[in-house]
Amino acid sequence: CKTSSCAASLTDGLLLESEYRSEKSLEELGKLVPPECHCVREGNLEHLLARELVPGDTVCLSVGERVPADLRLFESTDLSVDESSLTGETTPCSKYTYHQLPSTNGDMASRSNIAFMGTLVRCGKAKGIVIGTGENSEFGEVFKMMQAEEVRSPAGHLDVHLKINDNKLYHFTVYPNSKIYFSFSDPCNYHAPKTPLQKSMDLLGKQLSLYSFGIIGVIMLVGWLQGKRILDMFTIGVSLAVAAIPEGLPIVVTVTLALGVMRMVQKRAIVKKLPIVETLGCCNVICSDKTGTLTKNEMTVTQLFTSDGLHAEVTGVGYNGAGEVLLDGEVVHGFSCPSVSKVVEVGCVCNDSVIRNHALLGRPTEGALIALAMKMGLESLQQEYVRLEEHPFTSEQKWMAVRCVHRTLQDKPGVYFMKGAYEQVIRLCSSYNSRGSTLSLNHQQRELYQQQISYMGSAGLRVLAFASGAEMGNLTFLGLVGIIDPPRSGVKEAVGTLISSGVAIKMITGDSQETAVSIASRLGLYSKGCQCLSGDEVDRLDLQQLSNIIAVFYRASPRHKLKIVKSLQNIGAVVAMTGDGVNDAVALKAADIGVAMGQTGTDVCKEAADMILVDDDFQTIM
């Protein structure tokens, strides 16, 4: 008895300790996104908490701020918003103020006059009127989907739990005979689906009870037939029943799981519920979001091609100087290779973004160019030039140009630096740079550049062209760079290890097919001839038709992600879902184990998940 009391006390202590650590860690993670905003009320600019906003308020947005509510924009200056946490699209969306036709207002990505709550302002500034807060925003729609999540019971009937505004949990039970029963209960009485361990423990308990009572019944019957008193046999039967109950098993299981939670904490992973540790070990399918999970959601230059035919590879990921520029295996630094340096110089000077403490203020593509300059030790060039004139980037012209003069040569007329889409930049070029010399641009060179663009495009890269010169329309073409949001370091190795261990990996993203296939190919999830499905194709298929072989899904909305997870669970798979955005929250909730990113993950995502990776390290799942 004393031993059992000590074990129970130890178990309670471990549970309290792990829960306390988890809660404290979650509090710290919640501080990463301060819910504040700038609001105009009665003609005065006020600093308010986002929860104090009401429809009709006017909110001011600027670079680096998160949108505090759904806003209808009425004033916008070069506004670009990162909606990756909501849609999965890595490229920031340009926002405008003009009215949209109802026919083009259905798809979230097409609503260019709306700024959605929780998205990040990458460039420009704007003002908008609050049209949706809380559950009435697009974020709120995700919450509603989570609250209306379907839970299938092992008996074959369908349990639907729906929480309404009166805080009661309404319960609909649909049986195979098409009868529907309705009831309601308090939310605290709702029980989540059982984990594989809980199901195994339930089965073990039933089997032990069945076998024990069967054997005890036989023993009592034999004793009674031998003429022994029925009271004595009943006493023996009760003693055997008590002895057959493994009262120490729950304690041993709980202590073991608690130790597992503590080990996960050492690996920088927060586990909210003890049984989840065992569920992670039983998992045989992992569905993962791409943007911010398999990748870092930080655009990075990976390839550079100069106008005279030099091809350089760029290492490193993210908005920092970690990495190198390699030309034929040799490191290029500073002005050691003028052809490469000229491209980097234009990308650094013709740039409105800033990187501070590994955080970007501005456009992701411009951040990638600054990071490239940092890798070559040329980031100081941005401060060495004085800007005399600027042609800002617009979605119509698809290029940006500045006229600058070096601080030591301010009596000179200045030089134009230009970057943008190749088709637009090359129209304003009459020559190209070849090892320091300026040669006339001919058809052969244009064909060479077009081939290189096709090559980069097939690899899923976003291509930017660069030029410079004394006057617009008579510029010198300098080269191309390829930009992509590449996989995180260590993810490819982790994916390979999981696949070799028999775990299937599915990549589900809201990004385009080209980008999804490119990243999946780099990770070993996709090879030539494999099939991938779009969100629209997922809509047209039922749960049974969604093939278990398909590994890549693109243009997927929260609804599509939920359907994919359900289809895998429908064939008996134990499914883990990893993600960081609001668009992943519903699938995280529905999966057998939801895994959220701690640093880049949204609050909604962390709330829905069962486990949080503090360092955003995908390898922790192994």
Q: Which residues are catalytic?
A: 289
* Three-class HEC string of 141-196: HHHHHHHCCEEECCCCCEEEEEECCCCCEEEEEECCCCCEEEEEECHHHCCCCCCH
**Token digits of residue 22:** 């988890």
Amino acid 254 reads T
| Angle made by CA atoms 538, 543, 548, in degrees to the nearest 5 | 80
Contact 374, 325 (CB under 8 A): no
| Nearest alpha-carbon partner for 511 in 197, 291, 322, 281 | 291
- 620 is written with which tokens? 């922790």
Record the tokens describing residue 15, joined without a space. Answer: 């549970």
Instruction: List residues bridging with 595 in a β-sheet.
Output: 578, 611
**C-alpha to C-alpha distance for 476 and 220, rounded to whole angstroms:** 101
Residue 9 in contact with residue 252, Cβ under 8 Å? Answer: no
Give residue 82's identity as a one-letter amino acid code: D
Q: Rounded distance, CA 159 to CA 150, Å?
A: 6
> Which residues are 327's β-sheet partners?
312, 330
Comparing CA positions, the residue from 171, 179, 178, 181 lying closest to residue 149 is 171
Residue 365's H or E segment, with its range, is helix 364-375
User: Tokens standing for 101?
Assistant: 């036709």
In sequence order, which residues have a C-beta less than 8 Å from that of residue 525 and are 6 or more positions away? 495, 505, 507, 551, 552
Q: CA distances (Å), 95 to each of 65, 317, 426, 592, in order?
A: 15, 28, 27, 38
The whole-angstrom separation of Cα 622 and Cα 501 is 10
Q: Are 79 and 92 in contact (CB under 8 A)?
A: no
Neighbour count for residue 307 (Cβ, 10 Å): 27
Query: Any residues with CB less than 8 A from the CB of 19 and at least 6 apart, and which?
Result: none
Phi, then psi, of 252 in degrees rounded to 5: -60, -45
Fill in the amino acid letter for 67.
Answer: V
| Alpha-carbon gap, residue 198 to 600, rounded angstroms | 32
Classify residue 96 by its DSSP letter.
-
C-alpha span between 65 and 80 (Å, rounded): 12
Alpha carbons 594 and 446: distance in angstroms, whole number: 50
Alpha carbons 426 and 422: distance in angstroms, whole number: 6
* Residues in a beta bridge with 46: 39
Cα–Cα distance between 498 and 493 in angstroms, integer?
A: 9
Q: Which parts of 226-350 fold into alpha helices (H)?
A: 230-244, 248-266, 275-282, 338-349
